[in-house]
């Protein structure tokens, strides 16, 4: 009988080994077959071009073998030093120079700091774009302004779907954020999985009913996550970010108690917040009037793809708003950061053509006050108060929750994925360092947490991860539709003009004789007020005239020489008299 049992077990041994592993191998030795295959795979190179050491401008290059693709291509708004610059985008030259290997663009969601640079990239090189339906429709609308929507190939991908890009399996994982259809991206490689969280929070009760996909992240954690590239934006905030539903009750109460018109402002991309407002407007029997180009566009797109639901007969034409009683109105707009030309700023200054704020109106700013914007936002709020409005904003009432994970949610992400390597992204340098400390707290080896900078290369294969050679990258300044045209000299001149003003000197010269016909005439802008400093500017004219007359006849025939002579003499005099250095612009006309 014993011999018979032994024979049965011997025959079952291969089957049992296939399920449970051979008992004569340690658990560490069992994956050796995979390791051998993985060791023959090429390295993956991860190169962030933007989003590290800064908030915004997110873009990461992924290279594997002879192919590369990018994750996001965002923009960043300029700081006060970049005078006249419309936006800042990543340095695209590395991707453009490798266009023969460039296969695709993968998008995590539809915020400008992740999609704003796409027109500038796609105007130079064309590849398919993968993303959620809402994200791609927002991008399509943006590309229409550049006539790039038709030639661009859009590849909508549902959450949980795995696509093959250049032979690599890529899965889009649903995450909750302030905009619907946000995605994390998982890349499956022979030697391990790599996850890019994108912007995320863990909202237990999302407005749209689509919960954060715990199971997908846990599944990858069970399989093994080689590297986690994780959002660091709110790492300085303890606890959890809070559900979007937490703002419903405070906003509901404000709408209920408002005696007259309500002016509600949020980011145009905060479509969950927009849905909250639309639902509450219907509850209280108020008509919603939408103003602001981006807000109108995003609501239309989101409604068309089913990302939000607009109740019937709720929206009104703002040009017909006067026919609706004030106590039945809600004006939905953008401009919560007090952008100078935004609809909200114009309303605060009483210069909006359709909306006039009067005593008794209610203003709700349902967004975060972004650091650096405090002064101009509070100035705008003061204007609303002067007009008799009641103003409610984050810090005064609970009318906003963040779309980014706090430390508690970051701990959950690390616990779910259990990464071998952690790479903090999406944040200023202090955020990246704090995220590293959080990773160490979660028992990740500090030697396996990489604080990277834009342009640094991280190489990974079956043997682990290590820094590679750094590529040279810079920021690209955008002025209008032109990129890279605003160099340091231009910015220096703009700063000079903003601080010291300009003096224009005009001379009219007889072409044949080289003699002065009229002038010199002087115009001052941003330097000294001419009507109050007539004696000084008369002296400037005399200095200019003397410098011109002291020049020899041949010099007077050369415009460049005349301009240089006048500029030098006038600069010396103005410095001597005022101690200031305005931009001096001589203009010479020949007749």
Where does the pLDDT of residue 24 fall: very low under 50, low under 70, confident under 90, or very high at 90 and above?
very low
Query: What is the C-alpha separation between 137 and 303, in angstroms, rounded?
Result: 11
What mean pLDDT comes out for the span 25-38?
37
What mean pLDDT comes out for the span 575-582?
82
Where does the pLDDT of residue 517 fall: very low under 50, low under 70, confident under 90, or very high at 90 and above?
confident
Strand partners, 330: 262, 288
pLDDT(486) > 80:
no
pLDDT(76) > 70:
yes
Query: What is the per-residue pLDDT for 207?
Result: 94
Would you tell me which CATH number, out of the four given (3.20.20.140, 3.40.50.300, 1.20.1300.10, 3.10.20.580), belongs to the domain 501-590? 3.10.20.580
Which part of the chain is CATH 3.60.15.10? 45-239+403-482
What mean pLDDT comes out for the span 72-77?
91
Identify which of 403, 380, 393, 141 has the alpha carbon closest to the alpha carbon of residue 273.
403
Where does the pLDDT of residue 18 fall: very low under 50, low under 70, confident under 90, or very high at 90 and above?
very low
Where does the pLDDT of residue 449 fall: very low under 50, low under 70, confident under 90, or very high at 90 and above?
very high
Tokens of 329: 């109105």
What's the pLDDT tens digit per position in 402-411?
999 999 999 9
CATH (residue range 244-393): 3.40.50.10710
- Mean pLDDT taken over the chain: 86
What's the pLDDT tens digit per position in 304-335?
999 999 999 999 999 899 999 999 999 999 98
CATH (residue range 45-239+403-482): 3.60.15.10
pLDDT(570) > 90:
no
Query: What is the per-residue pLDDT for 132?
Result: 98
* Residue 53 φ/ψ region, left for φ over 0, alpha for ψ in the -120 to 50 degree band, beta for the rest: left
Which part of the chain is CATH 3.40.50.10710? 244-393
Query: What is the per-residue pLDDT for 4?
Result: 41
Which of 34-38, 56-60, 123-127 is predicted least confidently? 34-38
Task: Quote the DSSP letter at residue 470.
Answer: P
Query: What is the per-residue pLDDT for 10?
Result: 36
Query: What is the per-residue pLDDT for 510?
Result: 73
Residue with the bigger pLDDT between 6 and 96: it is 96
What mean pLDDT comes out for the span 426-448?
97
pLDDT(545) > 50:
yes
pLDDT(519) > 80:
no
Residue with the bigger pLDDT between 484 and 353: it is 353
Query: What is the C-alpha separation between 522 and 515, in angstroms, rounded?
Result: 18
What mean pLDDT comes out for the span 164-192?
96
What mean pLDDT comes out for the span 549-565?
71
Residue 448: CB atoms within 10 Å: 16
Query: What is the C-alpha separation between 155 and 163, in angstroms, rounded?
Result: 10
Integer CA distances (angstroms), 517 to 43, 520, 545, 591, in order: 74, 9, 12, 9
Q: What is the pTM of this model?
A: 0.78
Strand partners, 131: 156
HEC string of 190-221 equals CCEEEEECCCCECCCCCCCCCCCCHHHHHHHH
Query: What is the per-residue pLDDT for 564?
Result: 82
Where does the pLDDT of residue 2 fall: very low under 50, low under 70, confident under 90, or very high at 90 and above?
very low
Query: What is the per-residue pLDDT for 480?
Result: 55
Query: What is the per-residue pLDDT for 498?
Result: 58
What mean pLDDT comes out for the span 124-138?
97
What mean pLDDT comes out for the span 337-346?
84
Where does the pLDDT of residue 250 fall: very low under 50, low under 70, confident under 90, or very high at 90 and above?
very high
Identify which of 116, 115, 104 has the alpha carbon closest to the alpha carbon of residue 152.
104
Phi then psi for 578, rounded to 5 degrees? -120, -20
Query: What is the per-residue pLDDT for 36?
Result: 37
Which part of the chain is CATH 3.10.20.580? 501-590
Where does the pLDDT of residue 496 fall: very low under 50, low under 70, confident under 90, or very high at 90 and above?
low
265 Cβ contact list (under 8 Å, min separation 6): 332, 333, 334, 335, 336, 344, 363, 364, 365, 366, 367
Where does the pLDDT of residue 497 fall: very low under 50, low under 70, confident under 90, or very high at 90 and above?
low
Query: What is the per-residue pLDDT for 482?
Result: 52
Q: Over pLDDT 70: what percentage of the chain?
A: 85
Query: What is the per-residue pLDDT for 251?
Result: 97
């Amino acid at each position: 009988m014993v011999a018979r049992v032994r024979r049965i077990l011997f025959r079952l041994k291969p089957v049992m080994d296939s399920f449970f592993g051979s008992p004569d191998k340690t658990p560490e030795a069992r994956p050796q077959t995979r390791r051998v295959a993985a060791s023959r795979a090429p390295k993956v190179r991860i190169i962030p071009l933007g989003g590290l050491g800064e908030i915004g401008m997110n873009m990461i290059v992924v290279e594997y073998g002879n192919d590369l693709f990018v994750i996001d291509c965002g923009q960043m708004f300029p700081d006060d030093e970049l005078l006249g610059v419309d936006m800042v985008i990543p340095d695209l030259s590395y991707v453009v120079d490798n266009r023969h290997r460039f296969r695709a663009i993968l998008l995590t969601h539809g915020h400008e700091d992740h999609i704003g640079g796409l027109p500038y990239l796609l105007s130079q090189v064309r590849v398919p774009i993968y993303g959620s339906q809402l994200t791609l429709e927002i991008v399509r609308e943006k590309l229409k302004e550049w006539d790039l929507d038709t030639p661009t190939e859009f590849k909508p991908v549902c959450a949980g779907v795995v696509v093959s890009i250049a032979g690599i399996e890529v899965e889009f994982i649903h995450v909750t954020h302030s905009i619907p259809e946000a995605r994390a991206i998982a890349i499956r490689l022979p030697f391990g999985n790599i996850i890019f969280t994108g912007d995320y929070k863990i909202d237990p009760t999302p407005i749209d009913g689509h919960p954060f996909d715990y199971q997908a992240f846990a599944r990858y954690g069970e399989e093994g996550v080689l590297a986690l590239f994780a959002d660091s934006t709110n790492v300085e905030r303890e606890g959890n970010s809070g559900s979007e539903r937490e703002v419903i009750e405070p906003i509901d109460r404000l709408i209920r108690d408002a005696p007259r018109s309500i002016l509600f402002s949020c980011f145009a991309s905060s479509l969950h917040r927009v849905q909250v407002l639309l639902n509450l407007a219907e509850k209280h029997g108020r008509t919603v009037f939408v103003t602001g180009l981006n807000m109108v566009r995003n609501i239309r797109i989101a409604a068309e793809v089913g990302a939000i639901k607009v109740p019937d007969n709720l929206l009104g034409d703002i040009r017909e708003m006067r026919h609706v009683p004030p106590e039945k109105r809600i004006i939905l707009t953008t401009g919560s950061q007090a952008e100078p030309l935004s609809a909200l700023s114009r309303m605060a200054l009483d210069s909006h053509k359709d909306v006039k704020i009067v005593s008794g109106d209610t203003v709700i700013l349902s967004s975060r006050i972004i650091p650096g914007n405090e002064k101009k936002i509070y100035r705008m709020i003061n204007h609303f108060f002067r007009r008799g409005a009641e103003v409610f904003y984050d810090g005064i009432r609970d009318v906003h929750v963040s779309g980014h994970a706090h430390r508690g949610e970051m701990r959950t992400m690390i616990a779910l994925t259990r990464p071998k390597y952690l790479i903090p992204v999406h944040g200023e340098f202090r955020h990246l360092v704090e995220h590293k400390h959080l990773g160490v707290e979660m028992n990740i080896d500090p030697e396996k947490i990489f604080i990277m900078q834009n342009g640094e290369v991280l190489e990974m294969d079956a043997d682990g991860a290590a820094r590679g050679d750094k590529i040279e990258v810079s920021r690209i300044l955008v002025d209008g539709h032109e990129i890279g045209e605003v160099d340091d000299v231009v910015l220096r001149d703009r700063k000079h003009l903003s601080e010291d003003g300009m003096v224009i000197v005009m001379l009219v010269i007889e072409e044949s004789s080289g003699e002065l016909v009229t002038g010199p005439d002087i115009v001052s802008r941003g330097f000294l007020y001419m009507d109050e400093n007539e004696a000084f500017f008369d002296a400037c004219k005399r200095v200019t005239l003397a410098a011109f007359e002291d020049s020899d006849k041949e010099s007077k025939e050369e415009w460049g020489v005349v301009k240089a002579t006048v500029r030098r003499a006038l600069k010396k005099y103005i410095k001597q008299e005022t101690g200031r250095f305005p931009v001096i612009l001589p203009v010479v006309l020949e007749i």
